[in-house]
Chain A
Amino acid sequence: MSLSEDQVRNVARLARLGLDDDQIADYAGELSNILDVVVSLEKADTTDVEPMAHPLDLAARLRADDAIEVSSRDEFQAIAPAVAEGVYLVPKVIE
């Protein structure tokens, strides 16, 4: 199982990871080695086996639709990289 550099570039784009060409080349080799291991799953017979999404097979617990969080905007924004007047700042997205 071998991943090409283009495939790695595509996965890095999907995951929004900015990588340079040297890193892409290194990761192509490493990810291929990892996939070589996990590909052994193919051989397992899983006919009629239900996928297991949760170790205890429990459904997620639901709660009443009430607001339980208090507003902590000032506290949360105190640790943000860039804020102004209560909003988070990012580079301009609309020309």
Chain B
Amino acid sequence: MSHTRSIRELASDLAAKKISAVELTEHFLKRIAAHDERLNTLISRNEESARERAAAIDAGDNAGAALAGLPIAHKDIFCTRGVRTSCGSRMLDNFVAPYDATVVERLAGAGTVTLGKTNMDEFAMGSSNETSFYGSVRNPWNTDYVPGGSSGGSAAAVAAGLVPAATGSDTGGSIRQPAALCGVTGIKPTYGRVSRYGMIAFASSLDQGGCFARSAEDCAAVLQAMSGFDARDSTSVEREVPDYSAVLDSQGDDFLEGLKVGLPKEYFAEGLDDASRKVIEAAIAEFEARGAEIVEITLPHTDLAVSTYYVLAPAEASSNLARFDGVRYGYRCENPVDLEDLYTRSRGEGFGREVQRRIMVGAYVLSAGYYDAYYLKAQKTRRLIARDFSDAFENVDLIAAPVTQAPAFKLGEKLDDPVSMYLNDVYTLPASLAGLPGMSVPAGFVDGLPVGLQLLAPWFEESRLLGAAHAYQQSTDWHTKRPAGFE
């Protein structure tokens, strides 16, 4: 059963020709055909190009590359040359990208085979995947529930075994939250670690690419291929990328021994659902059993994160999304009478409700007379939040916390209440604002729905996150559980 095997096992079988890239691709395409009508994880399926690519790999393309022949899916926020890149929006429903994002190019260089483009909240704005123009994704653990968002398609596809790994992007939690709600392992690296070139911009000072897979070990392999400096992204950081898999191999089971792990008391305060709390406490007890020292810490400005984020992200979005004007690409309204009409109707008809809401919040907080009170103020509170973390990391090596206050909610439950949806992001926003690397690791279940443990490390310490998660996954089996019906 290829879909239950680790990336390392698949890569070694591919390299040894025990299985061909074509066979592996066909296996996953069959799973997609069998299950995706129900889950709606993919906006575009690339069966033909995937088969051709797999055959080319079998014929010697990318021979010796780390992931040669491994099927993956890309979040539909990453531009893929010659393939529709919709960003979950009607605005880009007809947009066939003329170039590849750096992430897509690098993963192709590592030998991956792209099976499709995953569903997402429109322009990555949402925490439930319900704002997609292509309809909601369903959570494989219970199809009445949301998969989380915005990278909900990627998380659900990995959870259901439709792909071994998928890319995602995180602006305020869009990798960690769906990873938690779907019971998969997800990592958002430090801002600047993964190139944003060709990743459609939402909030440029926050957006960061990352990935989903079944385990920390699998994430390490995929992140390795995605990471590193890119001259085409002016916010990309010139800094060496460690060999993540080597770190896991060398320290393996002992990684947690002597590691000082801080539990921020603000993340365990009122609001955290009791059953989820028990799951997180059990995970932390396992860390302790493996030699970690657990201490309580404080991140005193946590309560400012939602307000700060919902000023800064919409402000940046209103500016970034100004490019969608109906002139050069994307949606254009029928029979515009003049240029103003062309702009306003194309944007009025092409953008969905949540995107329009955020553009307007952004335009408002940036408008004359309000800039200082909202935007500038939020940039200052952002520094307070980031400082909380730098202070905390003077005393601890790692932070552990819940990812969400509760497991997945029902489809439709929060759709008409944007504020309650926003408040949902309270545990993931602070690390995004600070630009820190973060992970979600499967830690258990509440009423059959997965719960994720959030791990945060200092800037550029992705290997510490992966090492800790890997050690935890050596003695727990939550990450190996599969939703009924998708075995």
Interface residues, chain A, CB within 8 Å of chain B? 3, 7-8, 11-12, 14-19, 27, 30-31, 33-42, 44, 46, 49-56, 58, 60-61, 63, 72, 75-76, 78-82, 88, 90-93
Contacts A15-B318, A53-B205 hold; do A34 and B379 have CB atoms under 8 A apart? no
User: Does chain A have a CB within 8 A of B336?
Assistant: yes
Whether the pair B386, A60 counts as a contact (CB closer than 8 A) is no
| Chain A residues whose CB sits within 8 angstroms of the CB of B380 once the complex forms | 44, 46, 49-52
Does B332 count as interface, using CB distance less than 8 angstroms?
yes
* B298 close to chain A: CB less than 8 A: no
Knowing A58-B235, A79-B329, say if A46 contacts B360 (CB, 8 Å): no
What is the bound-complex CA distance between A33 and B357, given in angstroms? Answer: 11
Interface size for B (C-beta < 8 A) is: 75
Cβ of B231 within 8 Å of any chain A Cβ, yes or no, is: yes
Which of chain B's residues have a CB closer than 8 A to the CB of A7?
364
Name the 6 nearest CB pairs between A and B, nearest first: A55-B435, A18-B348, A18-B344, A51-B379, A81-B332, A46-B380
Give the docked Cα–Cα distance between A38 and B373 (Å).
Answer: 11
Say whether B384 faces chain A, with CB atoms less than 8 Å apart. Answer: yes
User: Quick check: which of B3-11, B245-253, B307-315 contacts chain A, the rest being far away?
Assistant: B307-315
A58 proximity list for chain B (CB < 8 A): 192, 235, 237
Query: Which residue on A lies nearest to B303, using beta carbons?
Result: A40
Knowing A17-B344, A41-B311, A44-B301, the reply to whether A55 touches B206 (Cβ < 8 A) is: yes
CB-defined contacts of A35 to chain B, threshold 8 Å: 361, 364
A residues in contact with B386, CB < 8 Å: 52, 55
Q: Are A31 and B306 in contact (CB under 8 A)?
A: no
CB A33 to nearest CB in B, in angstroms, measures: 5
B95: contacting residue among A46, A54, A79, A93, CB under 8 A: A79
- Is B418 close to A, CB under 8 A? yes
A38 adjacent to B310 (CB under 8 Å): yes
CB distance from B242 to the nearest CB of A (A): 18
Chain B residues closer than 8 Å to A75, beta-carbon distance: 98
- In the complex, what's the smallest C-beta–C-beta distance from A66 to chain B, in angstroms? 12
A39 to B370, CA, bound (A): 11
User: A41 to B304, Cβ gap below 8 A?
Assistant: yes
Distance A63 CA – B364 CA, assembled complex (angstroms): 34
Given A46-B384, A50-B383, A56-B435, A93:B338 Cβ within 8 A: yes
Inter-chain contacts of B364 with A (CB < 8 A) = 3, 7, 11, 31, 35
Check B337 for interface membership: any CB of A closer than 8 A.
yes
Q: B94 near A: Cβ within 8 Å?
A: yes
Chain B positions within 8 Å of A36 at CB level: 419
- In contact, B373 and A46 (Cβ under 8 angstroms): no
Given contacts A31-B357, A34-B310, A46-B380, contact A14 B367 (CB under 8 A): yes
CB atoms of A33 and B374 under 8 A apart: no
Which of A41, A42, A78, A82: most chain B CB closer than 10 A?
A41
Given A16-B347, A41-B311, A60-B235, 10 more pairs with CB closer than 8 A? A17-B344, A31-B364, A38-B307, A49-B384, A53-B205, A54-B235, A55-B206, A79-B94, A80-B329, A92-B338
Pairs A–B under 8 Å by Cβ, sample size 27 = A15-B359, A18-B344, A34-B357, A34-B419, A37-B419, A38-B311, A41-B311, A41-B374, A41-B378, A41-B381, A42-B377, A44-B304, A46-B381, A54-B205, A55-B191, A55-B192, A55-B206, A58-B237, A61-B238, A63-B231, A78-B98, A79-B98, A80-B329, A81-B330, A91-B338, A91-B339, A93-B339
Alpha-carbon distance between A72 and B206 when the two chains are bound, in angstroms: 30
Contacts of B343 in A (CB 8 A): 16
Residue contact A41 to B308, C-beta cutoff 8 Å: yes
Cα separation A93 to B304 with both chains bound (whole Å): 46
Interface string of B308-341 (1 = CB under 8 A from A): 1011000000100010011111101000111111
Complex-state Cα separation, A49 to B307, whole angstroms? 17
Q: A11-B360, A17-B359, A91-B339 are in contact. Are A52 and B382 (CB under 8 A)?
A: yes
B356 within 8 A of A: yes
Question: For B351, what are the chain A residues with a Cβ–Cβ distance below 8 Å?
Answer: 17
- Are B318 and A33 in contact (CB-based, < 8 A)? no
With the chains together, A34 CA to B94 CA distance in Å?
32
Asked whether B376 is an interface residue with its Cβ less than 8 Å from the other chain, the reply is yes
Residues of B within 8 A of A3 (CB): 364
Contact call A27/B206, Cβ cutoff below 8 A: no
How far apart are the CA atoms of A4 and B104 in the complex, in Å?
A: 45
Q: Is the CB of A60 within 8 A of B384?
A: no
Task: Point out the residues of chain B lying under 8 angstroms from A91, CB to CB.
Answer: 336-339, 341-342
Interchain CA distance A91-B356 in the complex, whole Å: 24
CB-based contact B327/A15 at 8 Å: no
Contacts of B190 in A (CB 8 A): 56
